[in-house]
Every structure is written in C-alpha cells, then in structure tokens.
A = this chain, B = another copy of it.
C-alpha cells in the first residue's frame, strides 16, 4: 500500500492536522476535528471519517457511539499541506454533539453570538 502521500501532510508538533468535514451535497461546513497519521490512513482506506480525539487521546471513528457516520466522498489537502478537507455524506443529518446538523451554529449579530440553528435531536437520546 502506498503511504508516501501521508508524508506530504504538514503534521504539527503533536503529529496532528485539522480536518474540515463538509456535506458534499449542500456544501455546508459541518465540523472541524483533528487527525493523526493513523486516522487519515484509515479514513482513506475505509471511506469513513476517522479522527483523533485530543481529549480521549485515541482514534475516534465518527459515529461509533452516535451512529452519525460520515461517508467520505473526497479528500483534499490545501496548498500548505496543513489542513485536510473531507467532503462527506453525513448519516442521520447530524454532525454536532449538540444534536445539530453542524457545529457552526453561533452567529455574530450586533456584537453577540446568537444560536441560529435548531437542535434536531436531544443529545441524551443520541449518546445512550
């Protein structure tokens, strides 16, 4: 298996790179998480988004608890090699742990952050 492409990524001093997940059909930016080498390799191999959880210090196969798996249609790397962009289909239509479609639900309005996107599912019913 070819792995040279992983060396083109500008991993940071912790061996991580930020990854943006974007819904392929609507273009909506769903979330940003981190990947280590193993996470990106598994993502490419399986077509399912795998991140590295900095808080838990281990691989995080998106959807492993929630069922909200991301099917990866396209993997991009930016000009500097230090950001990954995944175009995905979000199963269940919910990417955020708050039960919203996307994590970017705080909108700056008149000098305050306003929550502008609805909770689609109670997080307590997502994470049993």
Contact = CB atoms under 8 A, between A and B. Distances in A.
A83 interface: yes
B18 A22 contact: no
Contact of A103 (B27, B31, B44, B80): B80
Interface residues of A, number: 39
B2 A111 contact: yes
A53 B53 CA distance: 27
Nearest to A78: B103
A22 B23 CA distance: 13
B78 A31 contact: yes
B79 A97 contact: yes
B79 A96 contact: yes
Contacts of A26: 27
7 contacts: A5-B113, A27-B28, A76-B105, A76-B107, A78-B105, A78-B106, A83-B104
